């Protein structure tokens, strides 16, 4: 299920770049959710599953971030996320 952010603004004039930013935002949300599940889990098997999920979502986030960088979207990414530096 895709979350809708009421205050999200368009930052890219290119539709493909905007799609990347939207995906990046969705993956950030998924990462937040995965960390929340990890913090709320006490069963060892579920903790392990949460660790795998976090690693998978981080890999997806890093992939999308690399695509944005390669597309020259650094300035737009900073405006979109408020980030001062790349992670």
Mean pLDDT on 55-75: 87
Question: Where are the domains positioned within the chain?
Answer: 39-71
Checking if the pLDDT of 6 tops 60, the result is: no
pLDDT of residue 43: 95
Q: What is the mean pLDDT of the chain?
A: 80
**CA distances from residue 3 to 22, 25, 28, 56 in whole angstroms, order as listed:** 10, 10, 11, 20
pLDDT of residue 74: 58
Report DSSP letters for 12-53, one per residue. Answer: -SSHHHHHHHHHHHHHHHHHHHHHHHHHH--SHHHHHHHHHH
Mean pLDDT on 13-21: 84
């Amino acid at each position: 299920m895709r979350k809708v952010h009421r205050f999200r603004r368009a930052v890219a004039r290119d539709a493909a770049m905007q799609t990347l930013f939207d995906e990046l935002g969705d993956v950030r949300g998924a990462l937040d959710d995965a960390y929340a599940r990890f913090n709320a889990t006490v069963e060892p098997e579920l903790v392990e599953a949460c660790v795998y999920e976090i690693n998978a979502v981080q890999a997806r986030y890093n992939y999308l971030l690399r695509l944005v960088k390669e597309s020259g979207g650094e300035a737009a990414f900073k405006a979109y996320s408020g980030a001062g530096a790349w992670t």
